[in-house]
């Protein structure tokens, strides 16, 4: 049994190495799972670099989501050998085998595309929950987001389109409009100091009560200035490397609220039934083809350095995934 492990923070391709790692005996209520597919997410590379908000005790195995096949269970459990399951969030999924509490395991729908399901546990729930947990936009109403070409941004476009919610999608480089509109984006704008004015022009002055922010810094400020009085900005990332900013005009005089969202916290507090219902809803949409993410490449675990290098390249056409054990 092998795992990709790092013992120091630094350049991802330099600090990662593949080591032998025995998961050890199973405790009552635990399952042994062989990992079939697990993606490389920005949070993974940020953790390897040492800049993520919460860092593990070293040495550590990266990887926060994926799918696997149950090999063995100890005692009474809601799963059995051969079941395909979602891997628990944050369980160090870049390995061939891992142990998990059987009660935490949620089933993958039979016959599902395992690569798509491997990417289902973090970005789609993040998009779905941010779209509905803070403000409840209705069909025909507007939502604005920055980093719209990110994985979360693309899922949010698709999810909003399914419900008739209109999206204003802010990006940091030109040439993305056609691609995002093909996903269902209504408006695509380049970020800039006059963003608030261009948003009003694009929407005809319609209310925009929800903003989704992955950038932080002045990106948050521009988003908050573009939404309507009494609106809410939900921050879930700091791609700029800077803390979110909000202007006094937005905060004091227009009563704009800044909130934060971290999926891991929701998963820790939400009932298992709520988590299962959310995953079942998203999995159904993936199975129907209404919710998908592009896959750029897959790599076996022993080629994790090449996989990381590819994931860090610009101009990729989708996600990079590891496939530690063949399905």
Does a structural domain hold residue 165? yes
CATH of residue 221: 3.40.50.720
Among 244, 263, 282, residue at a domain's last position: 263
301: containing domain: 2-119+293-322
Residues 222 and 112 in one domain: no
Does a structural domain hold residue 207? yes
Residues 102 and 166 in one domain: no
Does a structural domain hold residue 278? no
Query: Residue 2's CB: how many other CB atoms inside 10 A?
Result: 16
pLDDT tens-digit series, residues 172-198: 887 888 889 999 999 999 999 899 999
pLDDT tens-digit series, residues 68-91: 999 999 988 888 999 999 999 889
Contacts of residue 14, defined as CB under 8 A and 6 or more positions apart, other chains included, come to none
Does a structural domain hold residue 92? yes
More confident residue, 286 or 253: 253
Q: What is the pLDDT of residue 236?
A: 94
CA distances from 18 to 10, 31, 64, 74, 227 (A): 16, 23, 17, 28, 47
Q: What is the pLDDT of residue 283?
A: 87
- What are the respective helix, strand and coil percentages of the chain, to the nearest 5? 35, 25, 45
In the residue annotation, 155 being an active-site residue is answered as no
Q: What is the pLDDT of residue 103?
A: 87
DSSP reduced 3-state for 220: helix
Does a structural domain hold residue 283? no
Q: If DSSP states are collapsed to H, E and C, what string results for 66-86? A: CEEEEEEECCCCCCCCCCEEE
CATH of residue 113: 3.90.180.10
How far is Cα 123 from Cα 107, in angstroms, rounded to an integer?
18
298: which strand partners?
321
Does a structural domain hold residue 146? yes
Residues 108 and 132 in one domain: no
Q: Which of 9, 52, 261, 266 is catalytic?
A: 52
Total domains in the fold of the chain: 2
pLDDT tens-digit series, residues 230-263: 999 999 988 888 999 999 999 999 999 999 999 9
Does a structural domain hold residue 314? yes
Q: What is the pLDDT of residue 194?
A: 94
């Amino acid at each position: 049994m092998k795992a990709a492990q790092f013992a120091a923070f630094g350049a991802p391709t330099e600090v990662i190495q593949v080591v032998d790692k025995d998961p050890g005996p199973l405790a009552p209520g635990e399952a042994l799972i062989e990992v079939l597919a697990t993606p490389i997410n920005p949070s993974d590379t940020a953790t390897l670099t040492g800049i993520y908000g919460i860092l593990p005790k070293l040495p550590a195995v990266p990887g926060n989501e994926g799918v696997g096949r149950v090999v063995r269970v100890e005692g009474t459990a809601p799963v059995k050998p051969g079941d395909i399951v979602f891997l628990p969030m944050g369980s160090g999924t870049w390995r061939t085998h891992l142990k998990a509490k059987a009660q935490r395991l949620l089933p993958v729908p039979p016959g599902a595309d395992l690569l798509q399901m491997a990417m289902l546990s973090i970005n789609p729930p993040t998009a779905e929950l941010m779209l509905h947990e803070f403000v409840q936009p209705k069909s025909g109403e507007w939502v604005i987001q920055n980093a719209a070409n990110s994985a979360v941004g693309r899922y949010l476009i698709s999810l909003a389109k399914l419900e008739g919610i209109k999206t204003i999608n802010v990006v940091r480089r030109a040439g993305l409009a056609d691609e995002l509109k093909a996903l269902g984006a209504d408006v695509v704008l380049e970020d800039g100091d006059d963003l608030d004015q261009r948003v009003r022009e694009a929407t005809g002055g319609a209310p925009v009560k929800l903003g989704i922010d992955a950038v932080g810094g002045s990106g948050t400020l521009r988003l908050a200035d573009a939404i309507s009085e009494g609106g809410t900005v939900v921050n879930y990332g700091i791609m700029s490397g800077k803390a979110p900013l909000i202007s006094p005009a937005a905060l004091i005089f227009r009563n704009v609220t800044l909130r934060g969202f971290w999926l891991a916290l929701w998963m820790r507090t939400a009932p298992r039934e709520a988590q299962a219902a959310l995953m079942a809803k998203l999995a159904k949409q993936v199975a129907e083809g209404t919710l998908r993410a592009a896959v750029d490449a897959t790599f076996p675990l022993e080629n994790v350095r090449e996989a990381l290098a590819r994931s860090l390249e610009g101009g990729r056409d989708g996600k990079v995934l590891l496939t530690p054990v063949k399905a």
